[in-house]
Amino acid sequence: PGKTYVMKGVLMTSAGNAMMVNGKTITASTEFVSTTPDGTVDVAFNFDASEIGGRKLVVYEYLELDGNTVASHTDISDTDQTVYVPKLRTTIFDSENGSHNSAADEDITLIDTVRYNGVEIGRRYTVVGTLVDNETGNALLDDA
């Protein structure tokens, strides 16, 4: 107790390689002073995940005291250290003609096919779609 530690984390791919975004390894650290022999500390990773959709990431963590690693946790299969970054792609079409063009009729049905990558197997997900007017940016409302 009373010593200053640094908890460092490195995001890894599920293959055990450091995750790179824009040519840089994704790391984070938190400095803290221990007040008890046991405790917790948060390490916040802030990065642009827009290009890594469909990936499973695992965090490796290292506890340092005076610049020396005194403990580490580097288990690539630890589910508590794993986060999924799903990726979605969609294609919408008119159910009557199968194209991206639809008639301005009173009652139409559009089908949006959603393809997903990188989700956690066995977990229940809900897909929610919103039809947006391209010119106004406003959501379209169903009169029903």
- Tens-digit pLDDT profile for residues 56-113: 999 999 999 999 999 999 999 999 999 999 999 999 999 999 999 888 877 889 999 9
Give the residue extent of every domain in the chain: 4-84, 87-144
Tokens of 68: 């020396």
* Predicted local distance difference test score (pLDDT) of residue 143: 65
Q: Which residues neighbour 38 within 8 Å (Cβ) at sequence distance 6 or greater?
A: none
Tokens of 61: 């963590």
Tokens of 85: 């970054």
Amino acid, single-letter form, for residue 124:
R
